[in-house]
Amino acid sequence: MTSQSPRDEERYRKQGFGNEIGIVGGIGLLIVDFVNGFADPNAFGGGNIPQAIERTRALLAAARTREWKIAHTRIVFADDGADANIFSLKVPTMLGLTETNPASAIVPELAPEPGEYVVRKTVPSAFAGTPLAAWFTSHGVQTVVVAGCVTSGCIRASVLDAMQYGFRPIVVSDCVGDRAIGPHEANLFDMAQKCGDVLDLDTFLSRLPNQTRSPS
């Protein structure tokens, strides 16, 4: 999964990190920022993001078949930049991701269907300042499966917040991507130690309980 050395992994294990939390209760799927701008290497993309989008098609199909609660996120700033913040101060080009800019639209192959929640956000976390935690909770979700981009930014922030809100995060390693592979691998390793479980898609699907739908 990562380029961490066996010595590093052993040190974490001896200190008690990296325990699996497993899949419990209702399952929800969170797809973070798989929008046109992050699929475009000339905008915000690059790295292994295209491959992660392709793998997420199968994950999304599995979630729909099982009737899980599904949420997608987009970064959407006001047309006049009135909601500019520290995130946009660090990355001013993010202010161009407005409601009608095609770069902020979810990629066609993962387009939401009726009943799937689209969260608009202006910071990395899908939970910060949004109703997402309450929405998942109201539908009985306890385990949040995470796909999207980028691994070192909005994925990490969302996984950390999911854990802090009391959800069990499962990061599907080949369904998340980053514009650079080094940060991608390092953050997968770190999230697996501290925040949630990190599984590839095939392993994750093999561990699913015999569940056809989530609580509503």
Q: pLDDT tens track of the chain, all 216 residues?
A: 556 778 888 999 999 898 999 999 999 999 999 999 999 999 999 999 999 999 999 999 999 999 999 999 999 999 999 999 999 999 999 999 999 999 999 999 999 999 999 999 999 999 999 999 999 999 999 999 999 999 999 999 999 999 999 999 999 999 999 999 999 999 999 999 999 999 999 999 999 976 544 444
User: Dihedrals φ, ψ of 191, to 5°?
Assistant: -65, -40
* 22-206: in CATH 3.40.50.850: yes
Helix axes 181-194, 156-164, angle to 10 degrees: 10
pLDDT of residue 210: 67
pTM, 2 dp: 0.94
pLDDT of residue 6: 82
Domain boundaries, the chain: 22-206
User: Which residues does residue 121 pair with via DSSP β-bridges, in sequence order?
Assistant: 75
**Who's near 34: CB < 8 A, 6+ residues apart?**
52, 53, 56, 72, 106, 107, 110, 147, 148, 149
Residue with tokens 């697996």: 192
- Residues labelled as active-site residues: 154
